[in-house]
Amino acid sequence: MKYLSAIGGYAIMVVEVFKKPTKWRIMKSLILKEVDELIYGSLGIIVFISFFIGAVVSIQTAMNLTNELIPKNLIGFATRQSIILEFAPTFCSVIMAGKVGSFITSSIGTMRVTEQIDALEVMGVNALNYLVFPKIIAMLLYPFIIAVSMYVGIFGGWFAGVFGGFITSADFVDGVTLDFIPFHVTYSFIKTVVFAFLLATIPSFHGFYMKGGALEVGKASTTSFVWTSVVIIITNYILTQLLLT
């Protein structure tokens, strides 16, 4: 019952976000600020993690290729498939649930605790539109981060494979281009757009409707991370079933 009520509350919040829009002059600057904080501010951690995960996938694949009959270019092929299909869109989104999600919940939650949201409402501002809508629009640039993650992840795989002495550069590149299906990238970006919406709205829901003080802001951030991750994982399964089978 509690979960159904939360789902209902979330749906109502999403509808409210698009009502009574804030003046474009103000909204424009809010969106640019969110792009800076949510997208540009996340590039560093995503590049760092993608490079090393790509490298690890490459090494692990190489270590498991014990049969001489299996061509070495499989290392490049496996790295590409893992990064494009799962690591970049899903694993990065779970990381973003921790990085961006906690930030969104704690910043909106702190505004709730310090009565800044009440101040917006007293003035007649649609606080949900003012606070959440710019985050949704900023997160439309999230596929850009995932594209960078794909590129850096595969580069990390090449780096570890070639400089670790597991594969030649030519074989790796051959594997990366082997049986390439462009729809896999489309599938990945479709997932990314859905995850971007979840990453902007679920943490906002937990921050906006939290009650209590500073301790509860911390608890709300943790709950928000757990639920954003759970919903991303379930949505990943549903979208994979719908798009790839």
Partner 1 sequence: MIEVDHIHKSFKDTHILKGISTTFETGKTNLIIGQSGSGKTVFLKCLLGLFDATDGKILYDGKQYTELSSAEQRNLRQEMGMVFQGSALFDGLTVEGNVKFPLEMFTKQSKSEMQDRVDTVLKRVNLVDAHHKFPSEISGGMQKRVAIARAIVMNPKYLFCDEPNSGLDPRTAIVIDNLIQEITEEYAITTVINTHDMNSVMEIGEKILFLKNGLKEWEGTKHEIFKTDNKAVTDFVYSSELFKKVRQMYIEERN
Residues that bind partner 1 (CB under 8 A): 22-23, 25-26, 33, 110-111, 114-116, 118-119, 121-125
Q: How many residues does the chain have?
A: 245
Closer to partner 1 by CB, 73 or 106: give it: 106
Question: CA–CA separation, 145 vs 197, rounded Å?
Answer: 14
CB nearer to partner 1: give 17 or 127. Answer: 127
- Rounded least distance, CB 22 to partner 1, Å: 7
In angstroms, the CA 132 to CA 51 distance is: 31
Q: How far is the CB of 116 from partner 1 (least distance, A)?
A: 5
Q: CB 26 → partner 1: shortest distance, Å?
A: 6
CB closer to partner 1 out of 65 and 125: 125
Residue type for position 184: H
Return d(Cα 112, Cα 130) in angstroms, integer.
Answer: 14
Q: Are the C-beta atoms of 177 and 75 separated by less than 8 Å?
A: no
Q: How far is the CB of 214 from partner 1 (least distance, A)?
A: 12
3-state helix, strand, coil in the chain (%, to 5): 85, 0, 15
Helix (H) or strand (E) holding 48, with range, is: helix 43-64
Cβ-Cβ contacts under 8 Å for 93 (sequence gap 6 or more): 192, 195, 198, 199, 232
Whichever of 2 and 23 has its CB closer to partner 1, that residue is 23
Whole-number minimum distance, CB 207 to partner 1, in Å? 14
Question: Nearer Cβ to partner 1, position 15 or 123?
Answer: 123
